[in-house]
């Protein structure tokens, strides 16, 4: 949570004197800027193109949001709902992202995950057991989308290694945890 004396803390419910003053200062600055025709927002066109480029490279929206320290609803509003203006600070953080944001929650093609699930089923591990091993308390592992997160894929590979569906060395390699020489 942001520190006291900030508008962000005020917006999260703090009504201490410092936070109220920070909100008043922001309000005055906003009104002054509006009176002089200054916009405190920026166009989303460039940001939208950048988000779409990252997503096409396999970076999931949640990963972009985490890396840019914003909500996924901000990205949804820009990409899907056609929002035209946004905070310049968030825009800058999104535009500064490269494909390194992939590490936050990138995607793996579903056929890779389905292959491991098929290997597990061949070794007598059903999808409900896979779901329980993943820490999901409901149903079974379902393959309904065109991709899964790398995290889910790594977890599947580890489960397959433990179950003996693939060698432990291959499981570590698939999970990206193998020792590199």
Sign of torsion, CA 15 21 23 24? positive
Which residues in 70-79 are b (16+ Cβ under 10 Å) and which e? beeebbeebb
CA distances to 144, 146, 152, 176 from 69, rounded to whole Å, are 29, 26, 22, 26
- What are the structure tokens assigned to 112, written together? 């890779």
Per-residue pLDDT of the chain (181 residues; tens, 9 = 90+): 667 888 888 888 999 999 999 999 988 888 887 788 777 789 999 999 999 999 888 788 888 888 888 888 999 999 999 999 998 889 999 999 887 776 666 667 788 788 888 888 888 888 888 888 777 766 777 766 777 777 777 788 888 887 777 776 776 666 555 554 4
pTM for this predicted structure: 0.47
């Amino acid at each position: 949570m942001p520190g006291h004396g900030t508008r962000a803390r005020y917006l999260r419910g703090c009504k201490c004197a410092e936070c109220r003053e920070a909100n008043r200062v922001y309000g005055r600055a906003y009104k002054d800027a509006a009176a002089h025709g200054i916009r405190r927002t920026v166009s989303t066109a460039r940001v939208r193109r950048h988000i779409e480029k990252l997503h096409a490279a396999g970076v999931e929206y949640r990963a972009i949001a985490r890396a840019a320290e914003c909500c996924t609803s901000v990205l949804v509003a820009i990409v899907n709902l056609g929002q035209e203006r946004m905070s310049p600070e968030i825009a800058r953080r999104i535009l500064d992202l490269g494909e390194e944001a992939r590490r936050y929650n990138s995607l793996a093609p579903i056929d890779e995950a389905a292959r491991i699930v098929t290997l597990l089923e061949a070794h007598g591990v059903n999808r409900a057991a896979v779901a329980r091993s993943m820490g999901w308390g409901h149903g079974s592992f379902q393959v309904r989308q065109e991709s899964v997160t790398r995290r889910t894929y790594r977890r599947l590979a580890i489960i397959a290694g433990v179950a003996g569906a693939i060698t432990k060395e291959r499981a570590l390699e698939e999970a990206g945890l193998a020792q590199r020489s």
